[in-house]
Amino acid sequence: MTIELMEKLKEAVIEGDEVAAYECAVKALADGMKPLEIVKASIQPAMDVVGEQFQNGEAFLPELILAGDAATKALEVILQEVDGSGESIGKGTVVIGVAFGDNHDIGKNLVLAVLSAYGFRVVDLGVNVSVKEFIAAAEREKADIVAISTLMTTSMPYQRELVKLLDAMGKRDQYFVVVGGGPVTPVWTKKIAADGYGRDAKDAANLCLKMVESGKKPPFDEPMFEGALDAASSI
């Protein structure tokens, strides 16, 4: 039954069916599934499928948006469960948002869900976030990590600006900077002197875990990569 339910949730997200996605998420939680299990078994794989279809020209922007809306609807239920479960184990605080000029938040929402399930305290800044807003939030929340994502190449320079401004303010050694999003690569991560890059939500969460458990202070001499070994090896 669990496998069948996870397949239904995955299909609902792919088809952009918000109602079905919501109902499947509620049912999965009622059946005792853990939030992270649901994300890993259904929502992340569904978005991977839609993303690949979009890249191959088999799906277009409307389908991508519908799938993102369905995934967000399911994640709303899952995040409520995480917030109320008392499962946070104090891994650290992550300030997360989408770079200025970009309003696409499904990738950010997936990372948020997995980080929360992993025991991080996550502060969601939303979309279209300026570099100064990221830094102000990091200071206010006493963050360990600042995670900035984008699905638009036109917003990628703000990831570099974040690193540069932290350095200019003398605060670069206070926060790890993690970057991600469709056009972001390990090569770009190294070029802008960020601390790490995760290929997808699970990889980003694993990366954050490794950072806080490393015992080192930012910035790293070389960025860490998770789920991108082939790309990283070509740098």
More confident residue, 80 or 180: 180
Contacts 24+ apart (CB under 8 A), 13-16: 13/42, 13/43, 13/46, 13/47, 13/50, 13/67, 13/70, 13/71, 13/74, 14/46, 14/49, 14/50, 14/67, 15/66, 15/67, 15/70, 16/63, 16/65, 16/66, 16/67, 16/69, 16/70
The answer to whether residue 9 scores a pLDDT higher than 70 is yes
Question: What pLDDT score does 192 carry?
Answer: 98
Last residue within a domain, chosen from 66, 90, 114: 90
Is 235 inside a domain boundary?
no
The answer to whether residue 50 scores a pLDDT higher than 60 is yes
Residues 79 and 131 in one domain: no
Q: Is the Cβ–Cβ distance between 226 and 196 less than 8 Å?
A: yes
**Beta-carbon neighbour count of residue 167 at 10 Å?**
13
The number of C-alpha atoms within 13 Å of 13 and in the hemisphere containing its C-beta is 28
List Cβ neighbours of 169 (8 Å cut-off, separation of 6 or more): 135
Is 111 inside a domain boundary?
yes
Last residue within a domain, chosen from 64, 90, 116: 90
CATH number at residue 152: 3.40.50.280
Of 64-78, 106-120, 219-233, which range is least confident? 219-233
Can you tell me the distance from the alpha carbon of 151 to that of 28, in angstroms, rounded to the nearest whole number?
A: 30
For the record, the structure tokens of 208 come out as 């954050």
Residues 109 and 218 in one domain: yes
Residues 123 and 48 in one domain: no
* Percentage above 90 pLDDT, the chain: 56
CATH number at residue 10: 1.10.1240.10
More confident residue, 20 or 91: 20
User: Dihedral of CA 31/33/35/41: which sign?
Assistant: negative
* Percentage above 70 pLDDT, the chain: 91
Q: How confident is the model at residue 83 (pLDDT cuts 50, 70, 90)?
A: low
Q: Is the Cβ–Cβ distance between 127 and 102 less than 8 Å?
A: yes
Q: How confident is the model at residue 223 (pLDDT cuts 50, 70, 90)?
A: very high
The answer to whether residue 39 scores a pLDDT higher than 90 is no
39 secondary structure, DSSP code:
I
Last residue within a domain, chosen from 90, 117, 135: 90
Average pLDDT over residues 36-57: 83
Domain that holds residue 81: 1-90
Residues 130 and 218 in one domain: yes
Q: How many independent structural domains does the chain possess?
A: 2
- Residue 192 has φ and ψ, to the nearest 5°, of -95, 0
Q: What is the pLDDT of residues 90-137, one digit of tens each?
A: 679 999 999 999 998 888 888 887 787 677 888 999 999 999 999 999
Can you tell me the distance from the alpha carbon of 200 to that of 51, in angstroms, rounded to the nearest whole number?
A: 11
pTM over 0.85: no
The answer to whether residue 66 scores a pLDDT higher than 80 is yes
- Strand (E) or helix (H) holding 224: strand 224-226
Q: How confident is the model at residue 33 (pLDDT cuts 50, 70, 90)?
A: very high
More confident residue, 85 or 115: 115
Residues 80 and 139 in one domain: no
